[in-house]
Chain A
C-alpha cells in the first residue's frame, strides 16, 4: 500500500515571498505520478501541478514548482511570489502509473494536507 505524509499541518508566508510545502511518500513501485492539489474554502480541489516519476526534470507551472527527489521519496512544492489567492489547503497525492487496486483503478492517495495562509 502507498502512503503520503505531509508533516506541516499549517504554514504562513508573507505576500510576495516564497514558501515550500513538504511531502514524502512510501511505495515499492517505481512508476507513478505525484500531484499537488489546492483546496480553497469553496472545497473544490484544483490541480496545481503534476510530476511523472520517470521524468527527472522537475515540473513547473508559472509560480509553482516542485523538487522531486525520487530516491528520497520526497516531493515538495515551492510557491514563489505568494499571493493572497494562494491561501488554501494544499494536498499532496499519488497514483500508480499502471493503476492499482482492482481493474487498474487510478485512485489518488492523499496526504492530510497543509493549511497555507498568505499574510498581506
Chain B
C-alpha cells in the first residue's frame, strides 16, 4: 500500500479481555516498530522487528504484551488480560532497512479498556 495502515482504528474492550492490533507496513520495509502513546504524552517505544524477528522488545511493559511478524510484513500486537492502564493509542511505524532512516507512521489504533 501507499502508507502504513493499522486496524482497527478504534477498539473498545472490557478489562481482562484479549485484544489484537494489526499493522500493515509500507511494502518492502524490513523494519517495523510499535509505540504506545498515552494521553498527553509522546509515543513510547515498545518493540522493534527486523524482518520476522523481534530484535528489540525492551519496551514491552510486561509479559501481557506480545507481538509477532511471522512473514516479515504484517505485524500483530497482542495484549492479554487487558487493564484500564493499557488504554492508549498504539502506533506502528516502518522504515526501509531499519537504520537511521525516516520512520513512517500509521494512524494508530485507539484502545479503550473499560
A residues contacting B by CB (< 8 A) are 4, 33, 37, 42-47, 50, 91, 93, 95, 97, 99, 101-113
Contacts and interface: CB of A to CB of B under 8 A. Distances in A.
Interface string B27-57: 0000101010000111111001010000110
A104 B100 CA distance: 10
Contact of B42 (A46, A105, A107, A111): A111
A110 B43 contact: yes
Instruction: Indicate the size class of the contact surface on chain B.
Output: 20 to 34
B105 A103 contact: no
A33 B100 CA distance: 8
B108 A43 contact: yes
Contacts of B7: none
Contacts of B98: 106
B70 interface: no
Contact of A107 (B40, B41, B45, B110): B45
B85 interface: no
Contacts of B48: 101, 103, 105-107
Contacts of A42: 107
B42 A102 contact: no
A47 B93 CA distance: 12
A3 B82 CA distance: 29
24 contacts: A43-B91, A45-B43, A47-B102, A91-B43, A97-B100, A101-B56, A102-B56, A102-B58, A103-B48, A103-B50, A103-B55, A105-B56, A106-B31, A106-B98, A106-B101, A107-B56, A107-B59, A108-B43, A108-B45, A108-B103, A110-B42, A112-B41, A113-B41, A113-B42
Contacts of B59: 107
Interface in B67-99: 89, 91, 93, 95, 98-99
Nearest to A107: B45
Contact of A112 (B31, B40, B45): B40
A95 B48 CA distance: 14
Given A43-B108, A107-B33, A107-B48, A50 B56 contact: no
